[in-house]
Amino acid sequence: MANKTVNKKKSELDKIKKSLLKDYDEPVKKKVFKFKKEETKSSFDRKLIISGLVGIMIGIGIMMIIIPDRIATLANGEQVIVEIGDKNITADQLYSDMKEQYNVDMLIKIIDNVILTDLYPEDNDMKTEVNSMADYYISMYETYYGYSEEEFLKSNGFTNKNEFLDELKLEYRRSLALDDYIKKNVTDKEIKKYYDESIFGETETKYISVDGTSDEAKALVDKIIARLNNGESFDDIINHYGDRITTKDLGSISYDTDIAKEYTDELIKLSTNSYSTEAIKYENNYTIVFKGASMDKPSLDDCEEFIVKTIAADKKNSDTSYYYRALIELRKNNKVDIKDTDLAERYEKYIKSVTENEQ
């Protein structure tokens, strides 16, 4: 029984972890209606930040810069960090050992921190989001594992909460860089296609849905469409079927309304004062869409920003390779040149591995 409880908790936590990978800054379809997409939790990519201490390597880098004037130098030019009787630990030894212990991922974090902190200075949105995210992680570990905040930080390699917040800030900034990279690569052709196919003006609409996707549910929704074809109104149908169906008048909606794409795609196809002749099958229901009065759609200039943001969000969610490609290009554009040949070789191997794995 104990094992089943533990497994259940782990399974639930895994679901939470997966949900954290979703992006929140996209035009999310909030789950208000039966068609709407799941609302996500954070405005940046929800990757679990369970990694080492950036501060250690940064500290080593600072030490290597300031230490020459403060420590003894051996005859061969090596600088002594620690003396143990007649034995010495030199800066070269420490650096070599640290290279082995902390892999190229740690170096990349330091590089990205330097670049991204300049590009995306901390603001109130970042502070609020990062602190909220940190509290969320900590609370989840408390709920599912019974960890205190100190236990959570210690078990994940952080000596204090500020180190954890720094890690989250780095991922937040990486997400901003990713968004900018994808938006920059949205083409005019993609923008025009989205405008032609998915943008529409203010439109009155309502729907009737039947829960379930069984043969019985399909038979019921077909019967409703047949009655509509015979001249019965939506109100007649609602009164007749009562709680066997779900219905809602959404009023007037537009292209930027938070509602599922399946619904708006059907709405765009319909002519004024008409309804679906074939119900939409979506998740766990069948739905009949009604289209009322509508206005002309806005100009491309008026909605281009929304279109770019939406296309970028779709690309980001459908192709994880953008994450690596964006950061690789970021480092190239900032003329990153790794002078240490061992680390440079490891970085090239890392780049090759992540790009091959994402193809």
Q: From first to last of its 359 residues, what are the pLDDT tens digits of the chain?
A: 444 444 444 444 444 444 433 333 333 333 334 333 333 334 444 333 333 333 434 444 444 443 444 444 544 556 776 676 677 767 777 667 666 666 778 888 889 999 999 999 999 999 999 999 999 999 999 999 999 999 999 998 899 999 999 999 999 999 999 999 999 999 999 999 999 999 999 999 999 999 998 999 999 999 999 999 999 998 899 899 999 999 999 999 999 999 988 999 999 999 999 999 999 988 789 999 999 999 999 999 999 999 999 999 999 988 888 999 999 999 999 998 988 888 888 889 888 888 876 65
Check residue 23 and give its pLDDT.
37
Q: For residues 346 and 49, what is the distance between their CA atoms, to the nearest angstrom?
A: 22
Please give the radius of gyration of the chain, using alpha carbons only, rounded to the nearest integer. 28
Amino acid at 126: M
Whether 197 and 166 have beta carbons less than 8 Å apart is answered as no
* CATH code at 200-297: 3.10.50.40
For residue 204 the two structure tokens come to 């009155």
Give, as one character, the DSSP assignment of residue 330. Answer: H
Give, as one character, the DSSP assignment of residue 73. Answer: B
Check residue 73 and give its pLDDT.
52
For residue 169 the two structure tokens come to 């800030």
DSSP output for 272-318: TTEE-SS-EEETTEEEEEEEEEE-PPPPHHHHHHHHHHHHHHHHHHH
* Residue ranges of domains in the chain: 2-52+103-184+319-357, 54-101, 200-297
Q: For residues 270 and 289, what is the distance between their CA atoms, to the nearest angstrom?
A: 9
Question: Burial level of 191, CB count in 10 A (0-12/13-18/19+)?
Answer: middle
